Structure 1
Amino acid sequence: MQGTAHATREGGGSAVLDQVRDTVLEVEGLAVSYGALRALDGVSWRLGRGEILGIIGPNGAGKSTCYDAVTNLVAREGRVVLKGEDVTRVPAYGLAERGLRRAFQQNAFFDDVTVLDNMVSVLQDVWGTSFADCLVRPFRERRRTGEARRAAAAALERLGIAPLYHDRYPTEVPYGTQRMLSIALALGSGAEVLMLDEPAAGLGGADMEALVVALARLRDDGLSLVVIEHHMDLIMSVADRIVVLDQGRMLAHGTPAEIQENDEVLDAYLGRAA
């Protein structure tokens, strides 16, 4: 883990935040209001490079709203800093260009092209060519197309998507593979921070184990991840640190072990035996 943290109550998080090393993403005082409803209220956290930060909380706690606020999909107060740059006013597409990517709860892919061609399509910033180059340098572009397809295949296998699925359409592959494809497409190329909203939704058994392996592999490769999840076994096994939200506010922040021992978290979310 990249920085030891202690589970804290709201208002005591600054000392915890100071212990995160090599910060790649920082949010300060995020707040979102829908009329009189305060959906998010003064939430702050940091994400270290090569770290998995889990965000948990009861339904309605503000988890997805927090994601929307970080990625500038809703009007919000507060500040967002990415790799030392204040990106508070940068639109969502500009954040993606800077390496901050997000995958949504629903699977997202192109139904009418193969799994491999889906992956090729999101690598165009690296492997794309112009029409003029195709006319003037056809042999070079043919070679480049082959290199792009090999890079796409490697990216799919990195997420555990076996070659036997590469030439199939996404609707023809198992649900777990569709889920991994959606994550791979969100990553694309050049991602440094990936935010996942309930990646384990609908998964179980071997698919859940494959997700754990994939998340750990991405972290080991230096990617930083923020993961919203309701599956406690998953988040406790992969997260380096966890933020607990309740009623739009930060209830606690710490390592998985510290969160599991925090009385307020046990009472508010994880549950305690009577």
Structure 2
Amino acid sequence: MVVESVFSSGALSSNPALCVQGLTVHYGALVALSDVSWSVSPGEILGIIGPNGAGKSSCFEAVTALVARTGTISLNGRDVSDVPAYDLCALGMKRAFQQNAFFDELTVLDNLLVVLGDIARPGLFSSIFNPIAAFKRRQLASIRAATILKQFGVHEQYHPLSPKDIPYGVQRMLSIALAFGSGAKVLLLDEPAAGLGGEDMEILKQILQRLKHEGVALVVIEHHMDLIMSVADRICVLNFGKQLAYGAPQAIQADSRVREAYLGTSS
């Protein structure tokens, strides 16, 4: 489902999957984030951009309850401001980080099976007293994991390998697949295009567009302007921890304040 943007700069959706209001983060005396508000709806991509040190990653850390913060965070209409990080996943909000993180001692396929959790594990009782059913469950889980990996551009030839032995571009796609796991209502991606180019960039673009059309609400921090401008429905620009601009990509590109933040000049 594709949801057309009903936002103007600074407006909030009436039916957001994730809504952030007044988000503020302090690291001691340093104000890393100040009164930031945005939202993203199902089937929509929100881009978060800004110069280095603008507060982009701090924004994700705050939304996912990994740092102390003030403000309100709502997930599908529920206030989750006090929900700890380890419980947000079960509510449908998942995240991928800037740096790839895998179980290198496991195969690519087994990495995803670990993420699938109870879906892939038959349990001790079943393994002992009904081993045939347990074996079939593991088989079905492996088929499902392989299907998910291929949907994220991680093809079969890589499944039996260690993540450290696959190309970097495929590692980036694997990190998104592991974050998504068995499904997500809201998926936060921190610089998914870092280090990518050419064909890998196009694959990433296709993955983002597919997730959007499947109704996932995506929030993407990105430095690759060509990518984010081509896929995002709206963009939030941060600078020195403050929300500098918020709106459609065309409006952001035309905003003199944004040009000045990136280039140091408004001309």
Q: Same fold (TM over 0.5)?
A: yes
- 1:39–1:62 Cα contact (<8 Å) kept: yes
RMSD: 1.4
- Is the partner of 1:215 in helix, strand or coil? helix
Match of 1:170 in 2: 163
- 1:63–1:228 Cα contact (<8 Å) kept: yes
Q: Give a deviation string over 1:159-187, Cα, whole Å, max 9, x none.
A: 01111111111111100011111111111
Of all paired residues, the percent bearing the same amino acid is 55
* Counterpart Cα distance in 2 of 1:133 and 1:270: 61
Match of 2:121 in 1: 128
Q: Give a deviation string over 1:64-113, Cα, whole Å, max 9, x none.
A: 11111100111111111111111111111111111111111000111011
Compared with structure 1, are the counterparts of its residues 93 and 31 closer, same or farther at alpha carbon in structure 2 (3 Å cutoff)? same
Q: How does 1:38-49 map to 2 (within 5 A)?
A: 38-49=31-42
Q: Give a deviation string over 1:242-270, Cα, whole Å, max 9, x none.
A: 00011111111111111111121122226
* Cα deviation, residue 272, structure 1: 5.9
- 2:260–2:266 Cα contact (<8 Å) kept: no
Matched to 1:264, the amino acid is R
Q: How does 1:1-274 map to 2 (within 5 A)?
A: 1-7=3-9, 13=10, 16-17=11-12, 20-269=13-262
- Is the partner of 1:123 in helix, strand or coil? helix
Runs of 4+ off more than 6 Å: none
* Counterpart Cα distance in 2 of 1:21 and 1:173: 43
Matched to 1:103, the amino acid is A
Compared with structure 1, are the counterparts of its residues 273 and 41 closer, same or farther at alpha carbon in structure 2 (3 Å cutoff)? closer
- Is the partner of 1:252 in helix, strand or coil? strand
- Is the partner of 2:17 in helix, strand or coil? strand
* Cα deviation, residue 21, structure 1: 4.9
* Cα deviation, residue 47, structure 1: 0.8
- 1:4–1:255 Cα contact (<8 Å) kept: no
* Cα deviation, residue 41, structure 1: 0.4
Compared with structure 1, are the counterparts of its residues 178 and 84 closer, same or farther at alpha carbon in structure 2 (3 Å cutoff)? same
Matched to 1:211, the amino acid is L
Matched to 1:247, the amino acid is F
- Is the partner of 1:40 in helix, strand or coil? strand
Matched to 2:126, the amino acid is D
**Structure 1 gap ranges (5+):** 8-12
How many residues are treated as equivalent by the alignment?
A: 265
* Counterpart Cα distance in 2 of 1:236 and 1:113: 36
Matched to 2:8, the amino acid is H
